[in-house]
Structure 1
Amino acid sequence: MSGFGMSKEGASSVRPPLLTDNNYSSWKGKMEAYICQIHDRAWMTVEDGYAPPMMTSTDGGEEVVKPKAQWSPQEFIFSMWNNKAIHAIRCAVSENQYKLIQITRIAKEAWDILEVAHEGTEVVKDSKLQVFQTRFETIMMEEYEHFNDFQVRLMDIVNQSHQLGDPYSDRRIKQKIMRSLPERFEPKVTALEENDTYKEMNDTYKEMKPSEVIGRLLAYELRKATTSPPKKKKDIALKTSKMEEEENDSYEDMALIAKGFKKFLNLQKSGYGSKGNDFKKQKTTIKNVKPYHEMPSREKIQCYECGGFGHISKDCANLEDEREEATTSSDSDEEVVEIFFCIRLLLQAGQQSESC
């Protein structure tokens, strides 16, 4: 079973909120509201304190507590409100917290004891305030954070500072909200600060409460989400997919070049159109190309592989098995990859030489 004030349905208006080791800041505000709903006079005893009626003793002239039998009706009323307040506080703490206030009968004393126990002395309060001031100045709304989540974070800092005795003005809170918004809120910020329409409605930005500014920004984000909701992950996926497609296209182009270069090497090895099967040493120029009528007939062409006539070494039957093996191996992915990287190295070397 959950503790007091911790159920999912919300806190009860009948029983007080339960103080734990780490919820004093929120408990303090809830407890004030709870005691006030008992009666304002009950909360007055917490704020201003309560002292039991005193009287001068008959023997020594010292001040002593007045016997209840001699109390006036007004003194009974003051005591009643103090008792209601201290009872509410005692019911709102755990067993460990109760040990701190067990002996006191004054509501203000119990309240102050709990405050010092959880917030510390004035020195500790000052240190905490400095932390909250830094957090207030540095907090920013993330680009893809929902505004509601941001305003919860901001108002938690504001409330914590208020509980420690350093409340922020409405003007400062509004300025902080406007300075902390991402770029997607820029049109709405401009409209709130400059649009004359709001002046005609007697609802200018200067006159707005922070809650009104928050409400307008929440409505703006909701309307904007219906047309262009944040899609950070999807945008990244699209950019990544596009880059992958471009990279795949580049690799396909290079693979085609590699295959063409492989065929070129095969022709070089076969010795087609080259004397002595030494294609590298031959240079085809206009001077060494013979006219068509001076070209030798097919019967006079001699194969440099087998020594026969009527064919060249490329078409020699003796090399048929070797050609089939070479053709099969030329289509292998490993050779294409090797040629691919050779071409890339050649291109990089050419780019470096041009830059020099």
Structure 2
Amino acid sequence: MASSGYSAPIPPVFSREGYAIWAVKMMAYLKAFDLWEVIETSKHLGPLREDPTLAQIKAHSEECAKGFKALSCIHASICEVIFTRIMACETAKQAWDLFKVEFQGSKQTKKMSVLNLRREFEVLKITESKSLKDYIDRLMNVVDKIKLLGKELIDKRIMEKVLFSLPERFEPKISSLEDSKDLRRISLAKLVNALQAIKKRRAIR
């Protein structure tokens, strides 16, 4: 539930790097205070009609205030260098769209970024000198970047990538999981835990 007041905590700060992550955090921040609709719907409030009631005046004033609050939140969430780029924006919607164009890029740029990340995902391999955890962390970092660009890699594809990349020393455990049919329903986290358990047992022996 959104707060009925406006005592907002400090918003996430954007300073050139990590726009996609900032945008996700900022969207949640604005939603927490019922301000995201100002950007999402981009509705324009016209003037009050003649002889408005007190209730209509209050509602109109609250809607206008939402727009200024949303813009104020965006102002508070960016460094001074970035602020100069949107200081002429009169609405939160204008500022948000300007950020999106400049830092997320065009649809073609976004498409190329996704393509490059998918290539990185495909060629990423585990080496004998690297731990399984390090490999999974690097792999999921690429997956998360793809998700931030609005695309998805299904869990089944990630699982296949992990299984095909593993060294031969993991073959007995993989075969065991295949025989028990656990691979059809096991999660990636459980698979990693099972494989790491093998490594620990071997270290003890």
Normalising to structure 1: TM-score of the pair? 0.47
Aligned counterparts of 1:206 and 1:84: Cα–Cα separation in 2: 49
Deviations 1:104-163 (A, max 9, x none): 243333222112222211222122122112111111222232222222222221222222
Paired residues of 2:48 and 2:57 also in contact (CA < 8 A): no
Deviations 1:46-88 (A, max 9, x none): 3x2322312xxxxxxxxxxx15995554444444444433322
Letter in 2 for 1:42: L
Letter in 2 for 1:99: T
Match of 2:105 among 120, 131, 134: 120
Match of 1:142 among 123, 127, 130: 127
Letter in 2 for 1:53: L
Distance in 1 between the 2:178 and 2:200 partners? 24
Give 1:227's aligned residue: 201
Deviation, structure 1 residue 220? 3.1
Partner of 1:185: 170
Q: 2:198 corresponds to which letter in structure 1?
A: K
**Match status 1:23 vs 2:8:** no
CA drift of 1:191 comes to 3.8
Going from structure 1 to structure 2, the CA distance change for 1:187 and 1:109 (only over 3 Å counts) comes to farther
CA contact (8 A) 2:48 2:60 kept: no
Letter in 1 for 2:201: T
One-letter amino acid of the counterpart of residue 146, structure 1: S
Matched, 1:96 2:85: no
Which structure is richer in relative contact order (CA contacts within 8 A, separation 6 or more)? 2
2:13–2:78 Cα contact (<8 Å) kept: yes
Tell me the equivalent position of 1:300.
none
Q: CA RMSD in A?
A: 2.9
> Does the 8 Å CA contact 2:173/2:195 hold for their aligned counterparts?
yes
Which amino acid is the alignment partner of residue 95 of structure 2?
A: A
Q: Which residue is 2:5 aligned to? A: none
Listed one character per residue, the Cα deviations across residues 268-318 of structure 1 (whole Å, up to 9, x for unaligned) are: xxxxxxxxxxxxxxxxxxxxxxxxxxxxxxxxxxxxxxxxxxxxxxxxxxx
1:42 aligned partner: 35
> Match for 2:85: what amino acid?
L
Unaligned runs of 5+ in 1: 1-12, 55-65, 199-204, 230-356
In the alignment, the residues of structure 1 paired with residue 91 and residue 62 of structure 2 have an alpha-carbon distance, to the nearest angstrom, of: 15
Counterpart of 1:218, as a letter, is N
**2-structure distance, mates of 1:191, 1:33:** 43
Q: Residues 68, 207 of structure 1: CA spacing in aligned structure 2 closer, same or farther, 3 A cutoff?
A: farther
Larger Rg: 1
Amino acid at match of 1:21: R
Preserved CA contact (<8 Å) 1:148 1:218: no
- The answer as to 2:43 corresponding to 1:51 is yes
**Is 1:82–1:107's contact at 8 Å kept on the other side of the alignment?**
yes
Partner of 1:213: 188
Q: Verify the 8 A CA contact 1:52 1:79 in the aligned structure 2.
A: no
Residue type of the alignment partner of 2:112: S
Q: Deviations over 1:165-198 (max 9, x none)?
A: 22222222222222222223333333444414x4
> Contact 1:18–1:27 (CA<8 Å) still a contact in 2?
yes
Q: Which residue of 2 aligns with 1:131?
A: 116
Q: Percent identity?
A: 25
Confirm or deny: 8 A CA contact 1:49 1:106 kept in the other structure.
no
**Distance in 2 of aligned mates of 1:134 and 1:147:** 21
Distance 2:198 2:86 in 1: 53
Q: Is 2:154 the counterpart of 1:159?
A: no
Q: Find the counterpart in structure 1 of residue 3 from structure 2.
A: none
Give me the whole-angstrom Cα distance separating, in 2, the residues matched to 1:96 and 1:167. Answer: 33
SS in 2 for 1:158: helix
SS in 2 for 1:98: helix
